[in-house]
């Protein structure tokens, strides 16, 4: 089959590799019909993620048709499914609490050592995202082996377009969880840092959860325009001073809840990246520690901080004093995708959530290297690239 493989910094290629086969009895094999390039894939592309090996197949946002099932899979050939990017077993202590991204059973035993050293505990396995997260082949390919297919993938009803439901795999649940973690109450004012896919879905989710006002912060005019389309007010941080603007727009009280969705969509382990950025940080621009610091400083007293943005290592100058003195609450974490998929599929079907607005480019899988280049270098216009293995041109 053809697959998009990583070969080094800014070097991704379409390789011919053997088709995947059933290995464990709960596996299924899907034939990919749509797969997206995620913002976090750019960090693989930029060579920031350790434990990558040449030939690793990328992609963790994908869906397709079931073409083969193991003896214990509950899926049937021919069904269309969206696959969660987190590989979770459904039967451990954490899965029992619906904390799927904490499931240790999808991560091979030998790969658990690094996270245990870094974080004190291992995390779940992920598709196409380095050997630290399991070394699983990803979905930017014609076929994918999907473990735990009896509990992970969600079946999509006939007649519903791929483009409507593809983002159930990652960014929609991530944006939704971010809003949920902000514990929004009716009438709240919510500020969202970052109008990437996760931020934009957090904007929509916040309104659905009863927020009266959402203030979206970014510097790409097109992305701010998308936020405005959903009813958000906007701050372009290159045009206006963010903290001062937020205080004036909220009469000095500040937002009830703040969401840091800057930079990276919510997964990945970017130790080197984060440490480098902290070293370079001068409280300017878009570096990630800056956004969480600013969010904490701007948040109202007694307010809530939600952090879907990824942090992998250590930060300095964390405003712990402001955090304590103002009595804030912080909630964060990788997305428990499986927990949110059924409800969000319903919300899409009922027309409550718009997903297709995000897609700016559709191209064949074979054009994926060009897709990576475009996504990296034209972030204003290129909001989301969806690859279609079946598309010819």
Residue numbers at the binding site for other proteins (CB under 8 A)? 17-18, 20-26, 72, 87, 89, 91-93, 96, 104-110, 112-113, 125, 134-137, 145, 147-148
Residue closer to other proteins, measured from CB, 25 or 346: 25
Q: Which two tokens stand for residue 333?
A: 């974490």
Task: Measure the CA–CA gap between 88 and 90, rounded to whole angstroms.
Answer: 6
- Closest approach of Cβ 223 to other proteins, in Å? 35
Nearest Cα neighbor of 147 from 58, 101, 56, 84 is 84
Nearest Cα neighbor of 36 from 63, 9, 66 is 63
- Closest approach of Cβ 214 to other proteins, in Å? 39
Residues 154/139, Cβ–Cβ less than 8 Å: no
Cα 122 to the chain's mean position, in Å?
Answer: 19
Residue closer to other proteins, measured from CB, 143 or 311: 143
- Closest approach of Cβ 175 to other proteins, in Å? 28
Residues 303/310, Cβ–Cβ less than 8 Å: no
Task: Measure the CA–CA gap between 201 and 355, rounded to whole angstroms.
Answer: 8
- Closest approach of Cβ 27 to other proteins, in Å? 9
Q: With the C-alpha atoms ordered 176, 181, 186, 192, is the resulting torsion angle positive or negative?
A: negative
Residue closer to other proteins, measured from CB, 96 or 187: 96
- Closest approach of Cβ 160 to other proteins, in Å? 30
Residue closer to other proteins, measured from CB, 23 or 253: 23
- Closest approach of Cβ 116 to other proteins, in Å? 8
Residue closer to other proteins, measured from CB, 111 or 273: 111
Residue closer to other proteins, measured from CB, 127 or 167: 127
Burial of 275 (0-12, 13-18, 19+ CB in 10 A): middle
Residues 303/256, Cβ–Cβ less than 8 Å: yes
Residue closer to other proteins, measured from CB, 4 or 87: 87
- Closest approach of Cβ 150 to other proteins, in Å? 10
Rg (CA), the chain: 20
DSSP state of 127: B
């Amino acid at each position: 089959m053809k697959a998009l493989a990583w070969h080094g910094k800014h070097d991704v290629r379409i390789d011919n590799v053997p088709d995947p086969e059933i290995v464990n009895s709960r596996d299924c094999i899907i034939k990919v019909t749509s797969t997206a390039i995620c913002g976090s894939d750019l960090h693989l592309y930029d060579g920031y993620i350790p434990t990558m090996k040449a030939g690793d197949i990328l992609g963790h946002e994908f869906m397709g048709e079931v073409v083969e099932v193991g003896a214990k899979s509950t899926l049937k050939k021919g069904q269309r499914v969206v696959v969660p990017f987190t590989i979770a077993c459904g039967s451990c202590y954490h899965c029992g609490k619906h904390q799927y991204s904490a499931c240790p059973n999808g991560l091979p035993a030998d790969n658990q050592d690094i996270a245990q050293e870094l974080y004190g505990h291992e995390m779940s396995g992920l598709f196409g995202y380095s050997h630290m997260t399991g070394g699983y082949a990803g979905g930017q390919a014609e076929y994918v082996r999907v473990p735990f297919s009896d509990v992970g993938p969600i079946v999509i009803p006939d007649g519903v377009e791929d483009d409507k439901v593809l983002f159930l795999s990652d960014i929609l649940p991530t944006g939704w969880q971010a809003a949920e973690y902000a514990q929004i109450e009716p009438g709240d004012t919510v500020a969202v840092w970052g109008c990437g896919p996760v931020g934009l879905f957090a904007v929509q989710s916040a309104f659905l959860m009863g927020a009266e006002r959402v203030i979206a912060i970014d510097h790409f005019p097109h992305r701010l325009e998308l936020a405005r389309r959903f009813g958000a007010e906007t701050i372009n941080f290159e045009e206006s001073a963010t903290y001062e603007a937020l205080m004036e727009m909220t009469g000095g009280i500040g937002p009830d809840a703040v969401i840091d969705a800057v930079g990276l969509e919510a997964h990945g382990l970017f130790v080197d990246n984060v440490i480098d950025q902290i070293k370079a940080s001068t409280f300017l621009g878009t570096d990630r520690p800056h956004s969480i610091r600013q969010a904490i400083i701007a948040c109202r007293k007694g307010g809530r901080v939600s952090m879907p943005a990824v942090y992998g290592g250590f930060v300095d100058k964390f405003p712990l004093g402001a955090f304590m003195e103002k009595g804030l609450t912080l909630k964060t974490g990788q997305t428990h995708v499986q927990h949110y998929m059924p409800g969000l599929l319903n919300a899409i079907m009922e027309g409550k959530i718009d997903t297709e607005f995000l897609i700016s480019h559709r191209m064949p899988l074979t054009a994926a290297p060009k897709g990576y280049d475009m996504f990296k270098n034209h972030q204003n216009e290129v909001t989301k690239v969806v690859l279609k293995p079946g598309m010819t041109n």
